[in-house]
């Protein structure tokens, strides 16, 4: 029976008292699950026992093993958490409760629910990371027995594993879990690719094993000759990491050079560096393939020297050199610290888990579910570069990060006030891609007006992108409030013949706000500005409320303000005044598509009148005859439609195109052309050409689109001929 094997496993390292606790938990769980069976046909109790055995391989403590045995009791039986507490105490009950909550995470549920559950998982980790280690072991055993489930459920579980759980095991540094989670997830999600790769590797297994044996033998002789006591091991690279490397590099198996890997485990750190020197003298090292993770550990605590050399047969192989303690941490990760809670402080462990605290700090700023999922995959579950502050502190960032990402990782204000950067003492552009080992200095200025929208196209991390968006959301809201207030004041004055301030003072506006579910008048102003509600609709509500509660505020019918009869729309060109030239032919330049509100200038053409350009039009740079420039201005009383084009970039998802076009249509604008393109990375771009009346209306459209879930950037582009 599996439980006897578990007892044998824990007998090697747990005390008799601890073993009794684990046995008591097993008896309790077996009785609770009595009569229950898994889809595979085996008794249900076999599953929690298998999970506990997986954890015993990591030498899990007694409380963790007991919680593993009990982890499904509350959810799948009539046992309550209170009963667990009474029988086993608060600590085990808390672990069981944490695992029970995490078991409800479903990768293909609605994104908002998924993100909510993932946030709970990270919060649970912050309280006691053992909760997630139990969950990882639970997932690993489920994958080992996945054949019993329907194909669609197999794929769903495998995808969830590769996207969330395997990267999480990597972050915790539990390589034993990571490799098996990846390979099993790979097998079920991409069965054909898995089988083909496995067969290719198997066909050359004997050849590789012979070469590894030769390398190990040479190394053992070398170390013995120099009096260094060390253990030399060979290891195989897991299939999924090989597959990902082939996909990333666009190569086949013959071009993957680190299929061979040998590990040297020494007694001391100084021995590690001595072994490295001996190896480089024996075999030629490959340039650019040396990494010192001893001097600069990974955030999950991993330490080792990595180098790739040309072996005795001229075949490249990777060599890892580390101490026994480093090897234990590499294999078990955070699980090498099972008992850290019994000590008052563990500074080393705290440093290794700092990434979790950083995540918890900035994830609270993200209300958008898509943004949070993007953040997980980019900021948390991605490869890292390690750079230094001028004081020597190590900052880890995703590969591809820029000085701006570094600045926002340090502090929001450092990012907002950034005016430049230095890399290794030299000025570098803000778009510079950081490399491991760079010393990064951020130049700031208190006179800085804040971030530029262009920065959204430069930054790599979702943390930086979120902080930049937050800045502009706040800035846009202030602008929206001022614009919406002016619009409503004008509408109320024109239609009702009364000042908006009088309606506010009389309590009329407050009653309308409550009925329309706006928390305050500023929120209503902002909604009017970005197109969430029309000023006409609000004015009608204010009129009805005033008639009911404050009729004396409204003028009598014979005192009503005369209605303004709208003028017949005129052509766009009639909206431009050319200084000192009446009746001249005017054309709006197609290269920049100016609209009322844009700063403009005219250019006298030969035989085609005056062409009007935006002042920021790139074409103006090529017009060298400055004598032909002429001052122009907009006529505010002319209302016409003007062609414009915007480019939106966002996370590609169903309904995004419809939501964007709906925002434009709701503003009363006519869409003349629209194209959408998807990208392999899951994002997409949408170009939309439409007609607008002026710059303010265009800004409302852009602001409305920016509010849509998953939108990354929205910008106006130049017109035809761009």
Query: How confident is the model over 625-664, as pLDDT tens digits?
Result: 777 888 888 887 777 888 899 999 988 777 777 788 878 8
Give the residues across from 600 on adjacent strands: 614
Residues of the chain with CATH 3.30.460.10: 199-336
Q: Residue 624 and residue 640: Cα distance in Å, rounded? A: 31
What average pLDDT does this structure show over 595-605?
Answer: 87
Residues of the chain with CATH 3.30.70.260: 642-717
Model pLDDT, residue 442: 94
Model pLDDT, residue 349: 47
Residues 6+ apart with CB under 8 A from 287: none
Is the Cβ–Cβ distance between 706 and 606 less than 8 Å? no
* SS3 per residue for 17-38: HHHHHHHHHHHHHHHHCCCCEC
3-state secondary structure of 231: strand
Query: How confident is the model over 468-490, as pLDDT tens digits?
Result: 888 877 777 777 788 888 889 88
Strand ranges (E), 335-491: 384-388, 394-398, 418-423, 426-428, 440-444
Question: What DSSP designation does 619 have?
Answer: G
Q: What is the CATH number of domain 2-189?
A: 1.10.3210.10
Query: How confident is the model over 684-703, as pLDDT tens digits?
Result: 888 888 888 888 889 889 98
What average pLDDT does this structure show over 76-98?
Answer: 90
Which residue from 511, 529, 530, 510 is spatially nearest to 521, judged by alpha carbons?
Answer: 510
Q: Residue 25 and residue 6: Cα distance in Å, rounded? A: 12
Q: Looking at 177-181, 351-355, 619-623, which range is the least confident one?
A: 351-355
Query: How confident is the model over 346-377, as pLDDT tens digits?
Result: 444 444 455 554 554 444 444 444 444 454 44
How many CA atoms, within 13 angstroms, populate the side-chain half-sphere of residue 6?
27
Q: Residue 167 and residue 185: Cα distance in Å, rounded? A: 12
Q: Residue 98 and residue 91: Cα distance in Å, rounded? A: 11
At the topology level, CATH places domain 199-336 in Beta Polymerase; domain 2 (3.30.460)
Is the Cβ–Cβ distance between 11 and 19 less than 8 Å? yes
Instruction: For the chain, state the CA radius of gyration.
Output: 33
Q: Residue 22 and residue 339: Cα distance in Å, rounded? A: 17
What average pLDDT does this structure show over 672-695?
Answer: 83
Residues of the chain with CATH 1.10.3210.10: 2-189
Q: Residue 359 and residue 380: Cα distance in Å, rounded? A: 8
Q: Residue 552 and residue 461: Cα distance in Å, rounded? A: 58
3-state secondary structure of 721: coil
The per-type count for the chain, helices as H runs and strands as E runs, is: 29, 20
Q: How far is CA 652 from CA 155, 649, 679, 682, in A?
A: 22, 9, 8, 6
Query: How confident is the model over 103-153, as pLDDT tens digits?
Result: 544 444 444 444 444 554 555 554 677 888 898 999 999 999 999 888 988
Query: How confident is the model over 236-267, as pLDDT tens digits?
Result: 778 888 888 888 778 887 777 667 789 999 99
Q: Can you read off the two tokens belonging to residue 617?
A: 């039009």
Element (H, E) at 306: strand 305-310
Q: How far is CA 532 from CA 477, 480, 713, in A?
A: 13, 11, 20
Q: Can you read off the two tokens belonging to residue 65?
A: 């093993």
Q: 532 pLDDT band (50/70/90 cuts)? A: low
Which residue from 239, 237, 217, 383 is spatially nearest to 316, judged by alpha carbons?
Answer: 237
Give the residues across from 690 on adjacent strands: 644, 671
Orientation angle between helical segments 90-102 and 130-144, nearest 10 degrees: 50
Is the Cβ–Cβ distance between 549 and 585 less than 8 Å? no
Other C-beta atoms lying within 10 Å of the C-beta of residue 718? 18
Burial class, 341, CB count within 10 angstroms (exposed 0-12 / middle 13-18 / buried 19+)? middle
Which residue numbers are catalytic?
75-76
Structurally, at CATH architecture level, domain 642-717 sits in 2-Layer Sandwich (3.30)
């Amino acid at each position: 029976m599996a439980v006897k094997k578990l007892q044998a496993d824990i007998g090697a390292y747990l005390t008799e008292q601890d073993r009794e606790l684990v046995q008591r938990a097993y008896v309790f769980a077996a009785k609770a699950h009595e009569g229950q069976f898994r889809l595979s046909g085996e008794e249900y109790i076999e599953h929690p026992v298998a999970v506990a055995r997986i954890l015993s391989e990591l030498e899990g403590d007694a409380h963790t093993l007991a919680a593993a045995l009990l982890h499904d009791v509350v959810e799948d039986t009539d046992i309550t958490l209170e009963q667990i507490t009474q029988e086993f105490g608060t600590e085990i009950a808390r672990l069981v409760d944490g695992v029970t909550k995490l078991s409800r995470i479903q990768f293909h549920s609605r994104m908002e629910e998924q993100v909510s559950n993932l946030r709970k998982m990270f919060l649970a980790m912050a309280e006691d990371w053992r909760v997630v280690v139990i969950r990882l072991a639970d997932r690993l055993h489920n994958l080992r027995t996945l054949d019993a489930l329907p194909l669609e459920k197999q794929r769903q579980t495998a995808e969830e594993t590769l996207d969330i759980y395997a990267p999480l095991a990597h972050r915790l540094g539990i390589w034993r879990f990571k490799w098996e989670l990846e390979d099993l997830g790979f097998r079920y999600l991409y069965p054909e690719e898995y089988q083909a790769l496995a067969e290719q590797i198997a066909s050359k297994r004997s050849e590789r094993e012979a070469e590894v044996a030769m390398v190990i033998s040479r190394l053992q002789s070398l170390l013995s000759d120099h009096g260094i006591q060390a253990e030399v091991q060979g290891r195989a690279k897991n299939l999924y990491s090989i597959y990902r490397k082939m996909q990333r590099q666009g190569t086949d198996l013959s071009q993957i050079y680190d299929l061979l890997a040998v590990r040297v485990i020494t007694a001391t750190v100084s021995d590690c560096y001595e072994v490295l020197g001996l190896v480089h003298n024996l075999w030629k090292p490959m340039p650019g393939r040396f990494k010192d993770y001893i001097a600069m550990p990974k955030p999950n605590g991993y330490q080792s020297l990595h180098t790739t050399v040309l072996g005795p047969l001229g075949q490249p192989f990777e060599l890892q050199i580390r101490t026994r303690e480093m090897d234990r941490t590499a294999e078990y990760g955070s699980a090498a610290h099972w008992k850290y809670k019994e000590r008052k402080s563990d500074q080393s462990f705290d440093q290794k888990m700092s990434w979790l605290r950083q995540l918890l700090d900035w994830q609270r700023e993200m209300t958008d579910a898509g943004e949070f999922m993007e953040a997980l995959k980019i900021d948390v579950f991605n490869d890292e570069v390690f750079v230094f502050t001028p004081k020597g502190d190590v900052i880890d960032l995703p590969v591809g990060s820029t000085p701006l990402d570094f600045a926002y990782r340090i502090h929001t204000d450092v990012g907002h006030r950034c005016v430049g950067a230095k890399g290794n003492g030299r000025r570098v552009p803000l778009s510079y891609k950081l490399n491991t080992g760079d010393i990064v200095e951020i130049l700031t200025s208190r006179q800085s007006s804040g971030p530029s929208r262009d920065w959204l196209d430069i930054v790599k991390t979702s943390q930086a992108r979120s902080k930049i968006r937050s800045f502009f959301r706040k800035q846009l809201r202030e602008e929206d409030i001022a614009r919406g207030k002016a619009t409503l004041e004008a509408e109320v004055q024109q239609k009702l013949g009364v000042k908006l301030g009088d309606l506010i003072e009389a309590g009329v506006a407050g009653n309308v706000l409550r009925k329309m579910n706006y928390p305050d008048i500023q929120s209503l102003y902002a909604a009017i500005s970005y197109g969430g509600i029309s000023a006409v609709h609000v004015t009608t509500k204010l009129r009805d409320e005033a008639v009911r509660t404050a009729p004396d505020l409204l003028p009598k019918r014979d005192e009503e303000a005369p209605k303004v009869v709208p003028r017949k729309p005129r052509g766009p060109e009639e909206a431009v005044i050319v200084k000192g030239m009446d009746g001249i032919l005017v054309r709006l330049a197609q290269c920049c598509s100016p609209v009322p509100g844009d700063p403009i200038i005219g250019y006298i053409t030969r035989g085609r009148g005056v062409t009007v350009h935006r002042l920021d039009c790139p074409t103006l740079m090529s017009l060298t005859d400055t004598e032909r420039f002429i001052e122009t201005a907009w006529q505010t009383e002319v209302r016409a439609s003007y062609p414009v084009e915007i480019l939106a970039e966002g996370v590609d998802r169903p309904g995004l195109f419809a939501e964007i076009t709906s925002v434009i249509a709701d503003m009363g604008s006519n869409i003349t052309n629209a194209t959408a393109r998807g990208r392999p990375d899951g994002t997409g771009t949408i170009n939309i050409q439409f007609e607008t009346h002026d710059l303010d209306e265009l800004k409302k459209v852009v602001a409305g689109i920016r509010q849509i879930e998953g939108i990354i950037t929205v910008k106006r582009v130049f017109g035809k001929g761009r």
